Amino acid sequence: MKLELMAKKKRGKKKPAPNLTPKQRRFAEEYLLDLNAVQAAVRAGYTKATASSQAAQLLKKPAVRKLVDELVAERSKRTQITTDRVLEELAHIAFSSVEHYEGGEADSALALKPGAPLEAMRAVSSVKKTILMGDDDDVLRLVKVEFRLWDKPKALALCMRNLGMLNDKLTVDLDEELRKVMSEVANTYDSKLSRLAGRKQAK
């Protein structure tokens, strides 16, 4: 019985994570900023001359890769930004259509047509309104509304690569472009949280 319990304890014991040098840890943290391994190596303290080779070696180290994955997971949990959410947002852009929208003439603002998906508005990248002042009553009137959608081909390509539907050189475990999008959004979210925290402390 004792031998059985000891065997279970041994099997359940996790191996301690290999120690990383302060510079290696700094590299993992810097890598999350823009997912640029070379620049992360430079910011971590490696020389510019060796940054490229050092970056490649560091990303091959299981301990460094593990720390990067853990940091990404922590940030995703904190910001609620996951691969699924990003892919869902890209899908709204990829499958958007100008047929989803109406209005934009005279006093009519841009709106969704009946039956159009509610998420279609998230595919609009910009709205330009032309407003003129009437000659007689000096009343401002909306003349027309122009709008643009986000880049559909790019959104489709990002979705297809991530789902393994494109067999090209840019295909990786987690497409770098998609990871950069996630990183940029997460960094923006973190910055907003920091500013809000600063305002509360100032009050």
In this structure, the answer to whether residues 20 and 73 fall within a common structural domain is: yes
Decide: 139 and 157 in contact? Cβ < 8 Å. no
Tell me the pLDDT of the chain (203 aa) as tens digits.
544 545 444 444 444 446 899 999 999 999 888 788 899 999 999 999 999 999 999 999 999 999 998 988 888 788 787 778 888 888 999 998 989 998 766 667 788 999 999 899 989 988 888 877 666 666 677 677 788 899 988 888 888 877 777 665 544 444 455 566 666 666 665 665 566 666 656 65
In this structure, the answer to whether residues 73 and 103 fall within a common structural domain is: no
Dihedral of alpha carbons 92, 95, 100, 105, sign: positive
In this structure, the answer to whether residues 103 and 138 fall within a common structural domain is: yes
pLDDT of residue 47: 93
| pTM across the whole model | 0.50
What CATH number is associated with residue 71?
1.10.10.1400
In this structure, the answer to whether residues 31 and 75 fall within a common structural domain is: yes
pLDDT of residue 12: 46
In a domain, 120, yes or no: yes
6-34 core/surface letters (b: 16 or more CB in 10 A; e: else)? eeeeeeeeeeeeeebeeebbbbbebbbee
The number of folded domains in the chain is 2
In a domain, 45, yes or no: yes
In a domain, 137, yes or no: yes
For residue 26, the enclosing domain spans 15-79
